[in-house]
Structure formats: structure tokens, C-alpha cells
Amino acid sequence: MDQLTVPEDRIETRPPQRARRSVRRRPRRRPFRYTLPGLAGALVLLCVSLTPSLLPRTGLTQGLISGITAAFGYGVGVLAAGAWRAVVDRDARPARRRSWLVLGGVALVSFVAATAYGRYWQARIRELMDAPADSALSVVVVPAVAAVVFVLLVALARAVRRVCGSIALLLDRWIGARAARAVGWAVVLVGSALLLSGIVVDQLVAAADRAFSVRDGRTDEGVVAPTGAERSGGPGSLVDWGSLGREGRTFVGTGPSAGDIAAFTGAPATQPVRAYAGLDSAPTTELRARLAVDDLVRAGGLDRAVLLVVTTTGSGWVDPGAVDPVEYLAGGDSAAVAIQYSYLPSFVSYLVDSDRAREAGRELFDAVYERWNRLPLDGRPRLVVTGESLGSFGGETAFSGEYDLRNRTGGAVFAGPPEFNTLYREFVSDRDEGSPEIEPEYRDGRTVRFTDDPGEEIAPVTEPWDGSRVLYLLHPSDPVVWWTPELVYARPTWLEEHRGEDVVDAVRWIPFVTFWQVTADLPFAGNVPDGHGHVYRSQYVDAWVHVLQPPGWDAERVAQLRDLLARGG
């Protein structure tokens, strides 16, 4: 029987079915197994993390910096290796035993050399600042802490990657593999965007604010409620003692008395006025400012010779070094007013609380200026302003520029201004040609001047400094002044110029590394000897002498006052 044949034009042809690609489940990795390129990158950045920055570091701090930096280096090494394999079209393959031995030998030699280099420069920094020597134990603490931080951060990064893979694997049932991977990474990107946009950060800040509010209810040892009417919280005050907060109670409950001032000056003195409103004193910043000013007026603050407006830092702290000298220089014929705007510690507020500082500085000065401006010209106190760190940022926000400061104040002292201060940044960016960023000169110093040592003559010494004087105190070693997110990727001007007197020459800008070094310096900026880092206490005396120009105060008398306040007098 003949086979049945079908004409070729009747044969139905179909394209071959393409196999559906699915997201492959990655093989389970050992938690402590690392790649050779990744560890090579970690080693490089671990060693450069031991280079010096602005402040001396403890072993714990250095270990933290090194661990974070090494984890970043590991990621860079892994990405670089992946990019190279993509270029040469090669699959990943395990490293040979010889390669591991070479890396181990290089790592040992490099880490020992970097540690010796780092400890040498740490000793030099401590010498410049007259800080105590570092403990020999840090040689062990640094690698131990760095290893723990490195392992945790790499494990966290791998966990995030596994979450993305799990999401993609789940979605692969309904959508294609590529779409599943895209959605998985989109979840990570959206989560990061939420963090950056402030939704999560704001909640964390609010939670921290509530936690630190418990601390605000305490009163420091030795601080008692005032017995005189010249202080908020005292007899007849409009502000309740319990509502002032911890720092507010310290501010009004301490400071030199009329007797202290008279004993030092040898002349009759009056009791200085101090007015303050805490977060619990009124529900809004505007109402707190008005309440503090009302209490200032009640206490007779507008009848004094000098009226000082203070923008606080963080939890409402006022550096006594900024206020006490004014009271001595004025013979007690002075008044100071401040308000609280946060419960958070200073260095935390510095990073996340700038908006509240801005509002507090503007509201307080405007409330004071409104009352002060109503007084007759010959009956007004000399109106001066001060602020330290975030307080300088808040204090600046009440003014539009140099002429506004000159016309609406009788002088100002701002210490440790953060890089994001609007006016400070404007003055420094527009500084006179040839003047460095750490010692800028602005328009021949006619109103605004800068110094790291007010005990010396302030440049430009050949130019007149008439009218209201505005003085910025800034140390080359103060991380609050120099920290900025741009340190991650951009070399700052102050590291292109000569270093300051308390900064070692070995400080260099290294992408990412310098950012973490200066960031880690921030919490410890106040734990260094006076006159370095973010500690300006003893320098306020000379600063206020320059600004107020009190008659009869020669260099010897100023030095005596500086010594008295340094001893806590």
C-alpha cells in the first residue's frame, strides 16, 4: 500500500516554542565566605581609613570608622570584579590557593604598616591639642571592632540582596523574570527613597525626641530655683521653674551673682537678668519666644546696659562661656534671653534639627527686637547676639546679610558655625582674594571678621573695624565647621590650602573615607581640650572684649577674667 503523501504547501509549520525563563534561585552561600576581589577592596580602604583626620580618635571610634570603610571597599571590589567579567565575558571562578596566600601576606604587611602610620599621626594630633596619650590597648580594639562592623555590614548587604531575590522569585509566577527582578530592586529603591525623603527619618527623630524628653525632666546637681526676681522660674516669674527643662534650669540657676562680679571688678555690681522658656513653657516656638521676652521685660531686662539674645544648641544648652563674660564685662548691668527648641543632644540636633533652630533663632530675635525698637533711642540697651554650633545657624537666620547685622545689632559672636550656615557660607564664599577658608577676610573686615584665637589681633589688622562688630570663632580642627555630605565625593577647599595650627599636615581628602572620618569626629568634637575642636569656652572672654570694647579692660585684667572662668568662677 502506498504511503499517503501530503503536499508540502499543506504542511502546517509552527515556530518553535521558546522556553520560559524563570528567576533562578541562587545557591546558598556560606555566611562568612568572601570573594578575593571584595577583600582586596576592603583591605585598601581599611588601610586608608587609618589616616588621620581632625581629632584624636579612641580605639572604638577608629574601629567603627575602619569597619564601615572596609565594608564599602568590599562592595567596590565585588562590583569592580563583576564589571571586569562582563567586559571580558567570563564567568566567576574560585580564586586559587596561591592568590589567597598572596592576599594574606599583603594584608598583614599593609595593616601593620598602616597601623604604625596611624598611631604616629594620632600621637602628633594629641601633642598639638595637649590631649592625653592614647591607650596601647587600642592596637587590639581597632581590628576587633572593625572586623565585627565589617561582618555585620556585609551580612546586611547580602540580606537586602536576598530579599530582592525572594521578591523576584515570588513574582516570577505571574510575570517574566526580567520584570520580577526589576520589581524586586524597585522595592529596595522605593524603600531608600522613603528614608531619604524623611518619612522614616522624621519618625525616628520624633521617637528620639520623646526618649530624650525624659532626661529633660531632671535637674543637675547643685542647681536650685532662683530666689531673686531677675531670673525666670524665680519669684514673680511668668515661667514656671518646672517647665524650663534641664538646660533651662541650669541656665537660670547658675552664673555669676552680683557679689561674684563685684568681688572680681572691685566696683559695685547688679544682679544679671536671665530669661528663658522651655519646650514645656508654651506649645509653639512663637509663643515660647514671646513668653521669654515678656519675662525678660518683667525682670527689668530692657533697662540694662547690654541685652544678649542667645540661640541655644540642641536640647536648649547655653554655653556659660558665651554669657558669663558679658555679665562680668558689663558689671552685672546686663540681661540674657534664650528659648529651648528641642530635646535632642547637640550633635544629633546638628544633623536633623536645623529647621527648628532656624525658627527659634528668628522668632526669638524678632520678639526681642519688637520690644527693643519701641524704646527711646537714648534708653535702649546695647543689643548683641550669640550662638554656638547650631545656635549660630539659628542666630543668623534673623538677618539678611552684613548690613542687617550691622544695623540691627550692636555686635555678635558666633562660634563653631556649621558649613550650612547661610550667612557664614556667604561671607566665606565671597571672601577677599588671597585669604584662606580657615582664616577668611570679608570686605576688609569692616563688619565681619573671623579668628581661631581672639586673644591675638584679628586680621586685617591694618583696616578699621568701626560700628557694630560681628566675630566668628572657628577652629581648623572643629568638625562641626567642616562637615558636609559633599565630603563623600568632592575635595573641600580647606584641604587644598595649608592646614591650621592644630591640624596635622598628613590630613588628606580621600573619597568616602574622609566623609566617615569627619562624621565620626562630630560626637566627640567637645571632648578635646579647650581651644580645639568644638570647645570655645575660654575664648569667649577675648571675643566679647573685641566686640563690646568695654572701657578700662586692659590685657592683664582680661587674662585674669579668662583664668577665673576657666576655673569655673
Q: Which residue has the cell 524586586?
A: 184
**What are the Cα distances from residue 33, in Å, to 216, 314, 408, 420?**
47, 44, 65, 43
Give the pLDDT band (50/70/90) at residue 3: very low
Q: Is residue 379 within 8 Å of residue 350, measured between CB atoms?
A: no
Which of 183-187, 228-232, 559-563 has the least mean pLDDT? 183-187
E-strand ranges in 318-453 read 334-339, 382-388, 412-415, 448-451
**CA-closest candidate to residue 312, choices 216, 447, 204:** 216
Give the global pTM: 0.86
Asked if pLDDT for residue 265 goes beyond 90, the answer is yes
Which of 7-11, 94-98, 224-228, 369-373 has the least mean pLDDT? 7-11
Asked if pLDDT for residue 179 goes beyond 80, the answer is no
439-441-445 Cα angle (round to 5): 130
Query: Mean pLDDT over residues 474-480, rounded?
Result: 95
| Model pLDDT for residues 110-166, shown as the tens digit of each residue | 999 999 999 999 999 999 999 998 888 889 999 999 999 999 999 988 887 776 666
| Model pLDDT for residues 271-324, shown as the tens digit of each residue | 999 999 999 999 999 999 999 999 999 999 999 999 999 999 878 999 999 999
Q: What is the dihedral of CA 361, 366, 368, 373, to 10 degrees?
A: 150
Mean predicted lDDT score pLDDT of the chain: 88
Question: What's the grid cell of residue 6?
Answer: 501530503
Query: Mean pLDDT over residues 524-545, rounded?
Result: 94
* CA distance linking residue 304 with residue 382, whole number of Å: 8
Asked if pLDDT for residue 4 goes beyond 60, the answer is no
Give the pLDDT band (50/70/90) at residue 6: very low
Q: What pLDDT, on the 0 to 100 scale, is given for residue 567?
A: 84
Asked if pLDDT for residue 391 goes beyond 80, the answer is yes
The amino acid that residue 564 corresponds to is: L
Question: What's the grid cell of residue 505?
Answer: 599636615
Beta bridge partners of 384: 308
Give the pLDDT band (50/70/90) at residue 351: low
Query: Mean pLDDT over residues 521-540, rounded?
Result: 93
Spatial CB neighbours of 61, under 8 Å, sequence gap ≥ 6:
520, 524
